[in-house]
Amino acid sequence: MSPIVLIIGCGVAGPVLAILLKRKGYKPIVFEKIKELGDAGASLMLMPNGLKVLGLVDLANQLLDSAPHLSEFRDQASSGAKLGVSHIPSTMLERYGQPAAGVKRTALNLALKQLLIDNGIEIHEGWKLEDIEEKEDEVIASFEGGRRAEGSFLIGSDGIKAVSRGLLMKRNGIAEGVPAYTGLTQTSGISPTPLSIEGRPSLLNIYGLGAHFITYPISNTHSSWAITLPETTEAQENWRLYKPEEIAALKNDILLEFANWSSPVPELIEGAERMLKFGLYDRKELMPEQWHSGRCVLLGDAAHPTSPHLGQGANQALEDCYHLSIRLPVVNSQSFSLSKQELTRIFQLFAEKRQPRTAALVNGARAQGSRRVVTGGAAACQERDEAVKKVWQDEEAVEAKYDHLFREPF
Ligand SMILES: Cc1cc2nc3c(=O)[nH]c(=O)nc-3n(C[C@H](O)[C@H](O)[C@H](O)COP(=O)(O)OP(=O)(O)OC[C@H]3O[C@@H](n4cnc5c(N)ncnc54)[C@H](O)[C@@H]3O)c2cc1C
């Protein structure tokens, strides 16, 4: 009989790992706390490293069908002055076999859920993990409402507030608190792409006084954007979409603040068809041996939650799926089973491989966030803009940095 793998969370990593493991002969079952996955969140920038993994589960082409390939990275000041441009994105397809493209988060999540169904993988929505009990040869997960499931091993891919992580930490004698608020919030929206940037699919970063604006296309007609601001009061990461009447009021408020920013900022704010606001969180890195315990292992944001400033959270979660799946053996007989020792060995190798890269990116994202949002007045902004310019001038270093990211995971 195929070993049952309990996968907690049907976000980005959970479903992808489920498909990769099913192909190796396991029987994955996915548990998702949300009753019915629907319209939520804003968008994600998928980079070649993540898209390579989505290609393995036959999803990359489908997502890219309606998403323009990125052609450039562009940084500018709020006045419109150019700080730097790189055409690396236009070479990605040739170099790495995949481009970079923005997608609506809902489109990705629903496509992944559909893929589970098409692959005959069980998914239980409305099942919220509450506890994990471990025996010598099995693991038992308990869910809200008294439901239980048994399996050979458990994957905690339940995101930044992972219950699985809290349970594993407790087992290791660590009482971990809530994720750390980075002091920054994001207000994000989806708007028709303004004429001023139409036909030029850029990942455009705009730097101003005490604020940062980012935008990229997510379809042939629409762009996603986000404003990052320092705020001392935490805005909970609830991903609630604003109602139409709230959008109108919020747009007016933001437009007042950003009216003197150059195009396309005012047009994007004015055109917003949906908006949401949330706080940005991350966590201090775990050591590799803390990523797993007995028959359980953490994956994606559950292991290394990050703020979004490097656009790598989902891409790294996808890399995790690849690295964990290749380390798990193929189920090659009716009597196949995995001992606790064998699982511990595999999970440790996986965590040792992944921890240094993901820890560096989490720390890098936090530092990038602080650099982007400078509050020390015009002189401090000028200094920040000069520093941004300097980074782009060293083309070799820029190329090496991106190559280090995108040539992985295979
Ligand atoms: C504003 C913002 C912008 C971002 N932009 C990018 C980007 O451009 N590119 C990028 O690569 N990354 C980006 N990220 C990061 C990215 O969203 C995450 O890193 C990625 O979603 C992690 O995938 P995951 O599968 O680990 O977790 P998630 O996608 O968060 O999925 C976790 C799932 O587990 C479910 N769950 C939670 N608790 C339980 C429970 N107790 N029981 C059962 N199910 C549970 C959740 O409902 C969810 O469906 C961004 C993040 C933010 C906040």
- Choice between 204 and 370, residue whose per-residue pLDDT is larger: 204
In a domain, 367, yes or no: yes
Cα 266 to Cα 365: distance, rounded to the nearest angstrom: 26
Protein residue with least CA distance to atom 37, ligand 1: 158
pLDDT at residue 234 is higher than 70:
no
Model confidence at 235, pLDDT cuts 50, 70, 90, reads low
Which residues have C-beta within 8 Å of that of residue 400, sequence separation ≥ 6? Answer: none
Q: Is residue 97 part of a domain?
A: no
Residue 159 structure tokens: 């995101």
| Residue 391: CATH number of its domain | 3.30.9.30
Mean pLDDT of the region 78-91: 96
Within this chain, do residues 264 and 291 fall inside the same structural domain, yes or no? no
CB 88 within 8 A of CB 73: yes
pLDDT at 172 over 90: no
Clarify whether residues 301 and 364 are in a common domain: yes
Among residues 45, 37, 75, the alpha carbon closest in space to that of 188 is found at 45
pLDDT band at 94 (very low <50, low <70, confident <90, very high): very high
Asked if the structure places residue 96 within a domain, the reply is no
pLDDT in tens, 306-363: 999 999 999 999 999 999 999 999 999 989 999 999 999 999 999 999 999 999 999 9
Verify that 210 and 241 share a domain, yes or no.
yes
Element (H, E) at 275: strand 274-282
Inside any domain, residue 216 = yes
Question: Same structural domain for residues 55 and 125?
Answer: yes
Mean per-residue pLDDT, 230-250: 71
Distances (CA, A) of 53 to 32, 204, 381: 22, 25, 38
The number of distinct structural domains making up the chain is 2
Q: Which residues contact 333 (CB under 8 A, 6 or more apart)?
A: none
Residue 259 has pLDDT above 80, yes or no: yes
Give yes or no: residues 55 and 156 share one domain. Answer: yes
Q: Tell me which residue range forms the domain holding 272.
A: 180-282+374-406
| H helix count then E strand count, the chain | 12, 18
Nearest to 157 by CA among 28, 329, 357, 317: 317
For 115-143, write each residue's pLDDT tens digit.
999 999 999 999 999 999 999 899 999 99
Residue 250: predicted pLDDT: 86
The alpha carbon of residue 282 and the mean position of all alpha carbons in its chain are separated, in whole angstroms, by 12
The answer to whether residue 15 is domain-embedded is yes
> Does 272 reside within a domain?
yes
Report the residue among 33, 46, 131, 310 best suited for mutation to probe ligand 1: largest number of ligand atoms under 8 A from its CB. 33
Same structural domain, 173 and 184: no
Q: What is the pLDDT of residue 37?
A: 74
One-letter amino acid identity for 50?
Answer: G
Q: Whose CA is nearest to atom 4 of ligand 1?
A: 308
Whether 56 and 139 map to the same domain: the answer is yes
252 and 122 share one domain: no
Q: Is residue 359 part of a domain?
A: yes
Residue that wins the pLDDT comparison between 253 and 148: 148
Do 39 and 127 belong to one domain?
Answer: yes
Q: Is residue 93 part of a domain?
A: no
Q: What is the pLDDT of residue 142?
A: 98
Mean pLDDT of 160-189: 92
| Average predicted confidence (pLDDT) for the chain | 94
Instruction: Check whether residue 116 and residue 261 sit in a common domain.
Output: no
**174 in the same domain as 25:** yes
Interval 269-307: pLDDT, tens:
999 998 888 899 999 999 999 999 999 999 999 999 999
Q: Are residues 62 and 109 in the same domain?
A: yes
| Interatomic CA distance for residues 249 and 159, integer angstroms | 32
Residue 170 CB neighbours (<10 A): 13
Look at residue 239 and tell me whether its pLDDT is greater than 80.
Answer: no
Continuous H helices in 42-173: 48-56, 60-65, 88-96, 105-118, 163-171
Mean pLDDT over residues 36-65, rounded?
92
φ/ψ (deg, to 5) at 333: -155, 165
The CATH number for 109's domain is 3.50.50.60
| H or E, element range at 183 | strand 180-192
Please give all residues whose beta carbon lies within 6 A of any atom in ligand 1, as ranges: 8-14, 31-34, 44-45, 128-129, 157-159, 163, 186, 300-302, 308, 311-315, 317
Q: How many CB atoms lie within 10 A of CB 304?
A: 26
302 CA to centre of ligand 1 in angstroms: 9
Distance 94 CA to ligand 1 centre (A): 29
Report how far residue 155's alpha carbon sits from residue 328's, in angstroms, rounded to the nearest whole number.
Answer: 12
Percentage of the residues of the chain whose pLDDT score is greater than 90? 83
- Please enumerate in sequence order all residues whose Cβ is within 8 A of that of 221, keeping only pairs 6 or more positions apart, or say none: 192, 193
Residue of minimum CA distance from atom 21 in ligand 1: 314
Task: Provide the terminal-to-terminal Cα distance of the chain, rounded to the nearest Å.
Answer: 31
Nearest CA to ligand 1 atom 9: 311
Q: What is the pLDDT of residue 409?
A: 98
> What's the rounded Cα separation, in Å, for the pair 283 and 237?
14
Ligand 1 site-directed mutation target among 301, 307, 366, most atoms within 8 Å of CB: 301
pLDDT at residue number 48 = 98
